[in-house]
């Protein structure tokens, strides 16, 4: 796809991977809609980009995907790419895990991803084109003790992406996932030092390593689809 002047909607754009994707897609001339809860951070980011508009809010609000689609169409008259990226990572042993945080993670990492995907794919089907990329994780391809609930959310994203890809074959619409290993972002801000040390024991990627991969997926010619890109630090031990 020639990305120049195309329109992308990015969730979780206020920090980390989503912010880097916004900067990468801006650099190739895309027009952007940025969303997350932190309006200030989004506006600061938008001010540093050539053509970006902000609609802040909780993506777990069931109305939000409709509002974002409408906002993109009102702002730019089209929507070509959706980066379904917002997510959190809550882990813990059975004795210590907070079930409400786990349920909140499931609503964000799974329910909001489904809602965003179905809302925007209905639009893509109407216009006969579009590209959806879901941010999954290496945790969506394997499991680890105490990571089960997060593993479950990202396995759900992988299964959903794969099924959609097949459902949409022949429609002109592409669906893919990007599955990072450990990336140095705010995702681990509330973690214990011990858990941080474990997750980064093989080194860390930079958000730019993922945004470069997303751009690569998007720039493939029409007849090529990279359905999943797994990107890990060279020395990641799992």
Residues with catalytic annotation?
A: 150
Contact status: 68 vs ligand NAP (CB under 6 A):
no
Contact status: 236 vs ligand NAP (CB under 6 A):
no
Listed in sequence order, the residues at least 6 apart from 3 whose beta carbon sits closer than 8 Å to its beta carbon are 25, 28, 29, 30, 81, 215, 218, 219
Answer whether 205's CB lies under 8 Å from 182's CB: yes
Binding-site member from 137, 151, 161, 213 for ligand NAP (CB under 6 A):
137
Listed in sequence order, the residues at least 6 apart from 200 whose beta carbon sits closer than 8 Å to its beta carbon are 182, 184
In the complex, what is the shortest distance from the CB of residue 180 to ligand NAP, in angstroms, rounded to a whole number? 4
DSSP state of 172: T
Contact status: 67 vs ligand NAP (CB under 6 A):
no
Q: Which of 168, 193, 162, 179 is nearest to 87 (CA)?
A: 179
Residue number with CB closer to ligand NAP (87 or 152): 87
Which of these ranges, 36-44, 47-55, 73-81, 229-237, lies near ligand NAP under the rule CB under 6 A?
36-44
Helix, strand, coil percentages (3-state) for the chain, rounded to 5, are 45, 15, 40
Contact status: 183 vs ligand NAP (CB under 6 A):
yes
Listed in sequence order, the residues at least 6 apart from 195 whose beta carbon sits closer than 8 Å to its beta carbon are 91, 188
Residue 214 CA to residue 176 CA, distance in Å, equals 10
Is residue 7 classed as helix, strand or coil in its secondary structure? strand
Answer whether 234's CB lies under 8 Å from 203's CB: yes
Binding-site member from 22, 25, 30, 86 for ligand NAP (CB under 6 A):
86
In the complex, what is the shortest distance from the CB of residue 159 to ligand NAP, in angstroms, rounded to a whole number? 16
In the complex, what is the shortest distance from the CB of residue 59 to ligand NAP, in angstroms, rounded to a whole number? 4
Which of these ranges, 74-82, 85-93, 119-127, 228-236, lies near ligand NAP under the rule CB under 6 A?
85-93
Binding-site member from 1, 28, 43, 60 for ligand NAP (CB under 6 A):
60
Site string for ligand NAP, 196-235 (x = CB under 6 A): ----------------------------------------
Binding site for ligand NAP (CB under 6 A): 12-18, 36-38, 58-60, 85-89, 108, 135, 137, 180, 182-183, 185-187
């Amino acid at each position: 796809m020639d990305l120049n002047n195309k329109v992308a909607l990015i969730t979780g754009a206020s920090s980390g991977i989503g912010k880097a994707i916004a900067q990468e897609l801006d650099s190739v001339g895309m027009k952007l809609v940025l969303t997350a809860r932190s309006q200030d951070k989004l506006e600061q980011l938008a001010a540093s980009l050539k053509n970006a508009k902000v609609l802040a809010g909780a993506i777990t609000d069931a109305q939000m995907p409709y509002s974002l689609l409408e906002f993109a169409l009102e702002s730019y008259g089209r929507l070509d790419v959706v980066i379904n990226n917002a997510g959190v990572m809550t882990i813990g042993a059975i004795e210590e895990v907070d079930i409400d945080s786990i349920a909140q993670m499931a609503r964000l990492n799974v329910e909001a991803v489904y809602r965003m995907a179905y809302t925007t794919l209905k639009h893509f089907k109407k216009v006969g084109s579009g590209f959806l990329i879901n941010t999954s994780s290496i945790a969506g391809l394997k499991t680890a003790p105490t990571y089960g609930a997060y593993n479950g959310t990202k396995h759900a994203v992988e299964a959903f992406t794969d099924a959609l890809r097949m459902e949409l074959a022949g429609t002109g619409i592409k669906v893919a996932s990007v599955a990072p290993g450990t990336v140095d972002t705010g995702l681990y801000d509330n973690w214990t030092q011990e858990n941080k040390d474990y997750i980064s024991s093989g080194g860390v990627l930079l958000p730019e390593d993922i945004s470069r991969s997303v751009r690569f997926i998007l720039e493939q010619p029409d007849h090529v689809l990279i359905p999943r890109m797994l990107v890990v630090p060279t020395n990641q031990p799992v």
